[in-house]
Amino acid sequence: MAAALRRSVVTLVKDLGVPCWQQLASRPLSVSAGLFSPETPPARADGTFKVTMVPGDGVGPELMTAVKDVFKAGDIPVEFEEFHLSEVQNMASEDKLEQVLTSMRNNKVAIKGKIHTPMEYKGELASYEMKLRRKLDLFANVVHVNSLPGYNTRHNNLDLVIIREQTEGEYSSLEHESVSGVIECLKIITREKSRRIAKFAFDYATKKGRNKVTAVHKANIMKLGDGLFLQSCAEVAQLYPKIKYENIIIDNCCMQLVQNPYQFDVLVMPNLYGNIIDNLAAGLVGGAGVVPGESYSAEYAVFETGARHPFAQAVGRNIANPTAMLLSAANMLRHLNLEYHSQMITDAVKRVIKQGKVRTGDLGGYATSDEFTRAVVANLPV
The DSSP result for 56-118, as a single string, is -STTHHHHHHHHHHHHHHTT--EEEEE---BTTTTB--HHHHHHHHHHHHHHSEEEE------
DSSP 169: B
Region of residue 297 (phi > 0: left; psi between -120 and 50: alpha; otherwise: beta): beta
Contact between 141 and 163 (Cβ < 8 Å): yes
Report the candidate in 20, 7, 32 with the shortest Cα–Cα distance to residue 192: 20
Helix-strand-coil split of the chain, %, nearest 5: 40, 20, 40
Alpha helices in the chain (DSSP H): 2-15, 60-73, 94-107, 128-136, 191-207, 225-237, 250-259, 271-285, 323-335, 339-355, 369-378
Which pLDDT band holds residue 40 (cuts at 50, 70, 90)? confident
State the angle between helix axes of 191-207 and 225-237 in degrees (0 to 180), rounded to the nearest 10.
40
| pLDDT above 60: residue 231 | yes
Q: What pLDDT is stored for residue 124 in this prediction?
A: 64
Q: What pLDDT is stored for residue 38 in this prediction?
A: 82
Q: What pLDDT is stored for residue 10 in this prediction?
A: 46
Q: What pLDDT is stored for residue 175 in this prediction?
A: 86
Q: What is the pTM of this model?
A: 0.87
Which pLDDT band holds residue 29 (cuts at 50, 70, 90)? very low
How far from each other are the two terminal CA atoms of the chain, in whole angstroms?
Answer: 66
Cα distance between residue 277 and residue 362, in whole Å: 20
Cα distance between residue 360 and residue 352, in whole Å: 11
Cα 153 to Cα 146, 284, 325, 363: the distances in Å are 12, 7, 21, 10
Q: Give the pLDDT mean for 292-308.
A: 94
Helix (H, G, I), strand (E, B) or coil at 34: coil
What structural domains and CATH numbers belong to the chain?
A: 46-146+290-381 (3.40.718.10), 165-285 (3.40.50.2300)
| pLDDT above 80: residue 308 | no
Cα 239 to Cα 31, 32, 166, 200, 232: the distances in Å are 8, 11, 23, 12, 12
pLDDT tens digits, one per residue of 342-377: 999 999 999 999 999 999 999 999 999 999 999 999
| pLDDT above 60: residue 134 | yes
Cα 128 to Cα 100, 110, 156, 326: the distances in Å are 11, 15, 36, 24
Which pLDDT band holds residue 127 (cuts at 50, 70, 90)? confident
Helix (H, G, I), strand (E, B) or coil at 215: strand
145 DSSP β-pair partners:
160
The number of beta carbons lying within 10 Å of the beta carbon of residue 366 is: 10
Q: What pLDDT is stored for residue 24 in this prediction?
A: 35
Q: What pLDDT is stored for residue 56 in this prediction?
A: 87
Number of helices (H), then strands (E), belonging to the chain: the values are: 11, 12
| pLDDT above 70: residue 30 | no
Cα distance between residue 285 and residue 144, in whole Å: 11
Which pLDDT band holds residue 32 (cuts at 50, 70, 90)? very low
Q: What pLDDT is stored for residue 367 in this prediction?
A: 96
DSSP 41: P
For the chain, the average pLDDT equals 88
Q: Give the pLDDT mean for 241-260.
A: 98
Report which of residues 313 and 98 the model is more confident about: 98
> 372 burial class (0-12, 13-18, 19+ CB within 10 angstroms)?
buried
Cα distance between residue 4 and residue 336, in whole Å: 45
Report which of residues 312 and 33 the model is more confident about: 312
